[in-house]
Structure 1
């Protein structure tokens, strides 16, 4: 199984997960051109995609969906609430008839040789979800836009081979930064985004010897930077109640403006 961040951050998100037979995108929050460039670097054509999984209807997760879906007519999978949000987003234009497919959280379905398990996340969208993706050998998950996490979240992220995990903001940078008070409260709230510290604590709860790669994603442009997210999460692991040290974990930070390396699990 391969995992790659084509783009990740508060300004646009698009993650590739796939193997020889099945090619998936999680979110299309960047332009069609950038999605195509990312797929080209992966050796994949747009019409070779098996499906697109959408986590929620915020523009940084669906910006390119209208143009991309009209060109390639790839099936799109999302919760009923997210599909309702997509249909109400006038800037996307009309999505071709029959492309939008409803999925339910906690009810797995198959695409190609992949088992897709949507799970509920806490975010200020209509019906947001994360996705766990398994083939018969490996498993990955995309878990971003989490205002908070609990045992339910942890259960869905156990036993992974790779994970894209939100590390959105540094709490101090957010507190003293330029955001208006209402927006600061939203970001820090239970339906906002995970801080670097909380990301590290969640990682502590899902660590195991088979976790081969962690990609820290969805960093805020204004309230975080890559080195700070990386070091904070490593510290949380090192000082957490687990047998690991931060340097034991293969970890990288996804960039908003360029692809990550292609990770083979």
Structure 2
């Protein structure tokens, strides 16, 4: 199983997860044309996509979900709250903790604290390899910590630096929303969560969903480097270029 972020941030989010026989997109935060272009850039045809899975209804994650499902003739999996919020029809309903399968990839939805109708993040499994994607949550719940154990790789939100957010251009209401329990994870919260889910299997960590106005890569490294295990490769996904390929097939346990 391989995964790659096609772009991560407030202007759009989309991650490709694939095996030899299955390919799916997590989120549809770019236009159909832009998504196809980003897929082409990594040598993947849109015709290869078997399904789209949506985390929540906010535009930077779901703006193209309905149109993509119809135009590409693929099922769109979403919680009932997400589907209603994003006006996705038809959709395949997913529920917290209820594992479902797309091709040979097993997927477990995990309900998270975020200001959306029924937001979920996910653990993807193939051949005993586990990839976690955990973005867009404002606080660390025990439910999240328990769900994201025994991972081989994780894409983890590090959205903002608290001082930059406080002194930045956002109005007070938006600052309160981002920094609240149902907003986004700060660099320090990301580090706290990583400490609780990192284990001997974890070989790749990708920091995601950085705010362009309230964060900086140097600050992310400063917060997370001390808690990234010595055996783990760490990188930061960008809005324009995403991240490098994560090849879970090559990640050995232990």
TM-score of the superposition, structure 1-length normalised? Answer: 0.89
Question: Which residue is 1:250 aligned to?
Answer: 233
Question: Which residue is 1:11 aligned to?
Answer: 11
**Residues 82 and 181 of structure 1, relative CA distance in 2, 3 Å threshold:** same
Question: Which residue is 1:241 aligned to?
Answer: none
- Output the CA distance in 1 between the equivalents of 2:105 and 2:29: 23
- Output the CA distance in 2 between the equivalents of 1:231 and 1:2: 28
| Stretches of structure 1 lacking an aligned partner (at least 5 in a row) | 88-94, 239-243
Is residue 79–residue 127 contact of structure 1 (8 Å, CA) maintained in 2? yes
- Output the CA distance in 2 between the equivalents of 1:74 and 1:67: 10
Is residue 30–residue 63 contact of structure 1 (8 Å, CA) maintained in 2? yes
What secondary structure, in the 3-state scheme, does the structure 1 residue paired with 2:6 have?
A: strand
Q: Which runs of 4+ in 1 moved over 6 A?
A: none
- Output the CA distance in 1 between the equivalents of 2:145 and 2:109: 14
- Output the CA distance in 2 between the equivalents of 1:259 and 1:195: 19
> Are 1:207 and 2:207 matched, yes or no?
no
Question: Which residue is 1:92 aligned to?
Answer: none
Is residue 52–residue 74 contact of structure 1 (8 Å, CA) maintained in 2? yes
Residue by residue over 1:1-58, the C-alpha shift from the partner in whole angstroms, topping out at 9 and shown as x without a partner, is 1110101011110011111111111101012222112222343221221211100000
**Residues 248 and 231 of structure 1, relative CA distance in 2, 3 Å threshold:** farther
| Stretches of structure 2 lacking an aligned partner (at least 5 in a row) | 249-254
Alignment of 1:1-265 (within 5 A): 1-87=1-87, 98=90, 100-235=91-226, 237=227, 244=229, 248-265=231-248
Residue by residue over 1:120-151, the C-alpha shift from the partner in whole angstroms, topping out at 9 and shown as x without a partner, is 00000000000111012311111101110122
Residue by residue over 1:133-179, the C-alpha shift from the partner in whole angstroms, topping out at 9 and shown as x without a partner, is 10123111111011101221111110111111000000000011111
What secondary structure, in the 3-state scheme, does the structure 2 residue paired with 1:186 have?
A: helix
- Output the CA distance in 2 between the equivalents of 1:221 and 1:63: 20
* Cα distance, 1:248 vs structure 2: 4.3
- Output the CA distance in 1 between the equivalents of 2:9 and 2:245: 18
- Output the CA distance in 2 between the equivalents of 1:212 and 1:21: 24
TM-score of the superposition, structure 2-length normalised? Answer: 0.93
Query: RMSD in angstroms over aligned alpha carbons?
Result: 1.5
What secondary structure, in the 3-state scheme, does the structure 2 residue paired with 1:69 have?
A: helix
Is residue 38–residue 259 contact of structure 1 (8 Å, CA) maintained in 2? no
Is residue 147–residue 189 contact of structure 1 (8 Å, CA) maintained in 2? yes
